[in-house]
A and B are shown apart, each in its own frame.
Chain A
Amino acid sequence: MPDGRVLFAGGFDGERSLASSELYDPAITLSSPGPPLSAPRRHHTAMRPAGVDNVFIFGDAPERGFSRAHTRRTAGAELFVPALNEFVPAREIAAADANGKTTAHTEPHVTIAALDAEKQSARRQILSAYPEYQCGSRRSKIGAYTPRAVELKLIPS
């Protein structure tokens, strides 16, 4: 049974970067407030790998204003887990990403490239076991969800 809802996350409202989210149901064209992100994010990336329910969010989290030159970026990544209706933290992304460089990904595991324009180098990490970042197999195990299933591995440049 498809869900079909759309997760809106973060952004900029004209005055400040947003840590809020919304869940939009296209069947009834209604958007409702969702759980908060761990930090305001703008110009970030959200991805849901094939066959995975959760949405992986990483990237820029500027403080406020339009100017990228005056923004602060954080290195944290987080997952939206629909079964919990919560954002949960993942371990930190590469420090290079915290400095505001680019990211990309590959599958089946989520591999993230953080490319440092100043150092002309790349740091790559694998967010392994990501598909295991799901809820438990029994209804009663919804609380047995295990953040430790998410692990970041640094690949030498």
Chain B
Amino acid sequence: MRRLTTSIAAVLMIGAGSAQGAATSDLSIDDDCEVVRIAGDGTRTVTPPVRPTAKSRTNAGPATASVSARSSGSSSSSSSVRASSRSGAEGGSAVATSTTNDGRRTVTTTRNAEGCTVVIDERPN
């Protein structure tokens, strides 16, 4: 399982007040998945699996996703996590999203007879 972490520290000046904040989000990805990363500016980066497994037409394997998010600040903080997973005879898919004060990241994992692919989308909505 690979773990991807991003951290953001920010100081906001709003009117006469100020707020300092930091946010971190972690996403765990299965080692046998190809990773496609879409950066905030739309740039795509493809990373091959760390430990590729033989493609099988009879066993698609489980679909998993895990996600965490943390944020802190002086006046307000917010964080949310959402994950969904579906599996059936043809394979499975899992979607995980972490959101903090400073951004959102969505990871979609698809696992079927052709293999495993993970798409990490860090583009702002």
Do the two shown chains form a genuine complex with each other?
no
B residues lining the A interface (CB < 8 Å) = none
